[in-house]
Every structure is written in structure tokens, then in C-alpha cells.
Structure 1
Amino acid sequence: MSLLPKITPQILQQHLQDGTAILIDIREPAEYAREHIRGARLVPLAGIDAHDFDAERDRIAVFTCRSGNRTALNAGRLLAKGFREAYLLDGGLDAWKQAGLPVHFDARVPLDLQRQVQIGAGGLALLGAILAFLVHPAFILLSGFVGAGLLMAGLTGFCGMARLLALMPWNRKFLSGAAA
């Protein structure tokens, strides 16, 4: 359970409209560039500093991410930033969109690397299983190879697939900081 109380998208929208709240998106820049709640301030979780909010201490702080999970898991860190009142957007950006509220969306910005890795690894593992069933049992090695790669990425923090995906043309200009 989160240390931060939750606020609904509708109540947050009212606070944003009357200027009593600040919405802080804790995702990474590439995620934010693709899609975010209009008016949200990007302050990635890795770089949050208490002094980032000196001018907004009197406003209600609402933290968000895509689904609300990342925010809930880091509630203790976020509470330590010194706001008089702080909340977690219940359901994050996903709930905001489900409520039909406005977002900024740029389809030219690729999915974040983590999601690309999940799609690529999942696709390769599924392909290996299907080929092993339909063509030859040795194709199961493809699924095993992908699983071993994910295990090593988790243990070491190095993900070869993410490194390869970062070199792809659709990612190059966004990961180099050329786009914002």
C-alpha cells in the first residue's frame, strides 16, 4: 500500500484548473515525450530534488506515472520533498485517459526502450515456442536464450537487447536528446 493518499483524475482536474495543484510526472523523458497529461511537469524519479519545488510548496502536489505503480512504490521518496499536501494520481496516466481527460500525444516518439524490450523479448520467446511446436523441438532454444538474456539483464543491469534497440533508426534521434 502506498504512503500517499490517492486522488481521482476528476478531482485532480478541478485542482489543476483552479491552480491549487501541481502535477509532477516522475517518468523518464522519452516516456513523457510520447504522451503526458497536459500541464504536467516532468521531473524524472531518478533526478527529483527537494529544491525543484521551492516555489510550489504551498500547492497540492500530485505525483503520477503511467499506471500509478511506480509512484506508489516510491511514495516515501516523494513525501520527503516537503509538500504540505501530496497525493498519488489513482491509476496514473492510464486512468486519466480512461476518464476522457486531455493528454498530449506524439506518435512520432517511439515507445520507451523498456517496453520495446518487453515486446521484442516476448515476441522472440513466443516465436521460439511456436516454432518448437510446429517445426522442430530445437527452436525451444530461442525461448531459452531470450529467458537467459532477461535473467542476466536483471542480475547485472546490462541489457544487450536494449543496447541494440537504442541503435535502431527510430530511437536514435530521441535517445540522443535531439527531440523533446
Structure 2
Amino acid sequence: MTKILNPLTPDEAARRLAEGRAVMIDIREADEFARRRARGARSRPLSSLDAGGLNLEGGRPDALEVIFTCRSGMRTGANGARLAAACEGPAHVLEGGLDAWDRAGLPVETDAKAPLEMMRQVQIVAGLLVLTGVILGLAVSPWFLGVAGFVGAGLTFAGVTGFCGMARLLALAPWNRPARA
């Protein structure tokens, strides 16, 4: 029998957390979690879940209920069976994710100094490159339309292969490197 994730409203999830019955696991990537998260949530990125399982550090997975969350609830919903299989005890999904948690007025921690999530950085740079290529293509020379084509080809390649060269380049930017002590 396959385990499923039971949906919980933000208020019900908060009650279970306050009672000490549950732990909240945020499955977003580390850069997303660093910028904004539910207070008390633990980061276990979906991309590393298979490699390390669900290590709760300080609480046995079978002794606690697990409430999985992401930003909107889409990622947890799409990976429900995989997430439920990662824990021994009852598993839940936060309906509406972090966005619903925030709308319910529940505590959210924000670090405005953390860099924008890598995917948003890629979207901004790709959008600006396409826009610049189209404007220059119309105003200066049609050859600049090649910039838009190149970016489109790169995004298609990233979607098909899972490798995003632009994200790799942006990761080297000074604002994405850890501060030196």
C-alpha cells in the first residue's frame, strides 16, 4: 500500500507544530529557503532527498508527524508519493505552501540580504537578454535577433537536459558567493 500525504491547512499545521507533534520540512532548494521560510522549518531540498533520506536530527522520523512544504504547494503535491515514502510516520502536505502560511499570518522568517533564488536570477537575465536582442534587432541590425535565439536555445537545452549554463555562470557572481569571514 502506497502512503499518501494528507493535506493540512496552515492553522492545523501550526497547531501540530506548537504541540510538538510535528516537524515542518521545506523541500525547496537552499537558496530559496535562505531568502524566505516558515519559522522553525527545516531545509531538506527535494534534490538531495534520495541521497540522504529524511534525516531529522534530534527527532526520529517515526516519532514525529512530518509536514512537507514548498512555496506554493505545487512541488510537494507533484512529489507526494516520494515524500511520503521518505518518512516512517504520518506525512502531511501544507495546503498552499509557504504562500498560504504567510497569508494566514503565521510567522515567516525573511533574509533580505540573501541573494534572489537562482531560478529568478536566470529568468531576469534571460528576459533582459531577449528584450535587448529584440530591441537592438529592430533598431540597429537584424543580426541582434540572434541573441534572443541563442537565449531561447539555451533555455530549451536547460529544460531538456537539466543543465543550465546561465545558472552556473550566475552562481559565480559575487552576490552569490558566501561572504568571507
> Please, what TM-score do these two structures have when normalized by structure 1?
0.84
Q: Secondary structure at the match of 1:114?
A: helix
Q: Distance in 2 between matches of 1:147 and 1:101?
A: 40
Structure 1 residues 52-71: aligned runs within 5 Å: 52-53=55-56, 55-71=60-76
Aligned equivalent of 2:27: 26
Aligned equivalent of 1:77: 82
> What percentage of residue pairs aligned between the two structures are identical?
52
Q: Which moved more, 1:85-94 or 1:132-141?
A: 132-141
Q: Which moved more, 1:128-137 or 1:98-107?
A: 128-137
Q: Decide which of 114, 120, 129 is 2:119's aligned counterpart.
A: 114
Q: What per-residue deviation string (whole Å, max 9, x for no partner) do you get for residues 88-143 of structure 1?
A: 11111111112222111111110121221112112222333344445544432221
Q: Which moved more, 1:54-63 or 1:15-24?
A: 54-63
Q: Which moved more, 1:45-54 or 1:70-79?
A: 45-54
One-letter amino acid matched to 1:85: P
Q: Distance in 2 between matches of 1:55 and 1:76?
A: 20
Q: What per-residue deviation string (whole Å, max 9, x for no partner) do you get for residues 16-69 of structure 1?
A: 111121101112222211111111011122333446246142322110111211
One-letter amino acid matched to 1:169: P
Q: Secondary structure at the match of 2:55?
A: helix
Q: Secondary structure at the match of 1:31?
A: helix
One-letter amino acid matched to 2:110: F
Aligned equivalent of 1:46: 47
Change (3 A) 1:6 1:106: same
One-letter amino acid matched to 1:164: L
One-letter amino acid matched to 1:29: A
One-letter amino acid matched to 1:94: D
Change (3 A) 1:159 1:18: same
Q: Which moved more, 1:120-129 or 1:68-77?
A: 120-129
4+ residue runs over 6 A deviation = none
Q: Which moved more, 1:145-154 or 1:157-166?
A: 157-166
Q: Distance in 1 between matches of 2:54 and 2:69?
A: 19
Q: Distance in 2 between matches of 1:59 and 1:163?
A: 37
Change (3 A) 1:135 1:37: same
Aligned equivalent of 1:159: 164
Give me the CA root mean square deviation: 2.2
Q: What per-residue deviation string (whole Å, max 9, x for no partner) do you get for residues 130-164 of structure 1?
A: 44445544432221111011112223333221122
Residues 61 and 83 in structure 1, CA contact (< 8 A), matched pair in contact too = no
Q: Distance in 2 between matches of 1:51 and 1:69?
A: 20
2:18 paired with 1:13: no
Q: Distance in 2 between matches of 1:13 and 1:150?
A: 39
One-letter amino acid matched to 1:34: R
How many residue pairs get aligned? The number is 174
